[in-house]
Amino acid sequence: MSQDAGAGRFAPSPSGDLHLGNLRTALLAWLFARSTGRRFLMRVEDLDRVRPGAEERQLADLADLGLDWDGPVVRQSTRLPRYGAALDELTAAGLTYECFCTRREIQQAASAPHGPDGHYPGTCRRLTASQREEKRALGRVPAVRLRADRTEYTVEDVLHGRYTGAVDDVVLRRGDGIPAYNLAVVVDDAAQGVDQVVRGDDLLSSAPRQAYLAGLLGLPVPVYAHVPLALNSEGKRLAKRDGAVTLADQRALGHTAEEVRTALAASLHIVPAGTHASVDELLAAFTPAELPRTPWVFAPT
């Protein structure tokens, strides 16, 4: 498959085992990419918390479900120079500023009456050079934020249509020097030729920020498909505490990887419940327009 074909991707964080909601999204990302002739890439987003052995177990679970990917696994921790170059480009264009706010100060500012839906209100945006030096003298280590020139941006989503969301002065580099998620994901998707992003709809609100940032960097904006989450019986996001929610848990209950895969496919209305289907059969039956638009409530058995 040529590089010109574009690509989709799955990008887990190696902080623990993947639960069924994660695996369901991975299956969808694979189906979207393969059904459109795109490459499917695997990227490990390991800039934050990493649990030893988690990456290996995650990749093994995905392979056991029958998902394959093109090329080697890419890890964000090996790509720091790319993020630094993008940040330097934005800084040279006057599009960044240092932020000395603590997490508590940001939370208090966002909850104030003027705080727009919890977004950063630009507290440090107009600090003078002397004010910045005063902050440093107090031991404050700054993060770097984007100097956004708009408050909202519109993206196109396969499942949600036109979506307009808030844009604010997002963090580009944290106070500890680590590149922030919004910068890293934009840089990586463009560098890897990812033009299709399939992920949980809890991240829909971040798409306008990322598309806006891509535009500032002169990078293409991918096609988005934000898919419904898996929830527990209380209507909250599925988590490890909700019972037998990992592939290992399901195996311990006597369910094979194939059975788990087809159960996930049934929850997506690709095949009837109880059907056994290979990944090729799922691919042949996959119709994005027929995907459910509401969350899947998982009840452990």
Token code pair at residue 211: 């598309």
181 marked ligand binding residue: yes
pLDDT attached to residue 49: 86
Residue spans of beta strands (DSSP E) within 74-160? 74-75, 96-99, 143-146, 152-157
CB contact set of 57 (below 8 Å; sequence gap of 6+): 17, 18, 248
Instruction: Flag the least confident range among 94-98, 231-235, 250-254, 256-260.
Output: 231-235
Ordered domains of the chain (ranges, CATH): 3-78+191-200+221-295 (3.40.50.620), 80-184 (3.90.800.10)
Token couple for 273: 């419940």
Q: What is the pLDDT of residue 105?
A: 81
Residue 272 scores a pLDDT above 80: yes
The answer to whether 9 is annotated as binding is yes
Parallel, antiparallel, or unpaired for β 161-166 and 223-227?
A: unpaired
- Any known ligand binding at 85? no
At 158-204, the pLDDT tens digits run 999 999 999 999 999 999 999 999 999 999 999 999 999 999 999 99
Tokens of 178: 């680590």
Amino acid at 174: R
Residues, the chain: 301
Q: Is 99 annotated for ligand binding?
A: yes
Per-residue model confidence (pLDDT) at position 106 = 78
Tell me the residue ranges of DSSP E strands in 68-132. Answer: 74-75, 96-99
**Phi then psi for 41, rounded to 5 degrees?**
-110, 155
C-alpha span between 245 and 242 (Å, rounded): 7
Query: Residue 152 in 3-state DSSP?
Result: strand
pLDDT at 115 exceeding the cut of 50: no
Q: Is the pLDDT of residue 111 over 90?
A: no
Q: 10 among the known binding-site residues?
A: yes
Q: What is the pLDDT averaged over residues 105-124?
A: 67
Band (pLDDT 50/70/90 cuts) for residue 33 is: very high
Q: Classify residue 147 as left (phi > 0), alpha (psi -120 to 50) or beta.
A: beta
Please state, rounded to an integer, the average pLDDT across all residues of the chain. Answer: 92
Q: Quick one: pLDDT at residue 275?
A: 85
219-250 pLDDT, tens digit per residue, is: 999 999 999 999 988 888 887 776 778 999 99
| pLDDT of 62 above 60 | yes
| Full-model pTM | 0.92
**Which long-range contacts link 117-123 to residues 24+ away (Cβ below 8 Å)?**
117/166, 119/166, 119/168, 120/145, 120/168, 120/169, 120/170, 122/168, 122/169, 123/99
User: Is the model more confident about 143 or about 243?
Assistant: 143
Residue 114 is predicted with a pLDDT of 44
Question: Binding residue per annotation — 224?
Answer: no
Please determine, for residue 116, whether its predicted confidence score (pLDDT) is greater than 60: no
Active site residues: 240
* Number of Cβ atoms within 10 Å of the Cβ of 203: 16
Residue 225: strand pairing partners = 198
Residue 134 confidence class, pLDDT cut points 50, 70, 90? very high
Strands 161-166 and 152-157: antiparallel
Map residue 191 onto helix, strand or coil: helix
Q: Looking at residue 2, what DSSP letter applies?
A: -
pLDDT, residue 235, reads 83
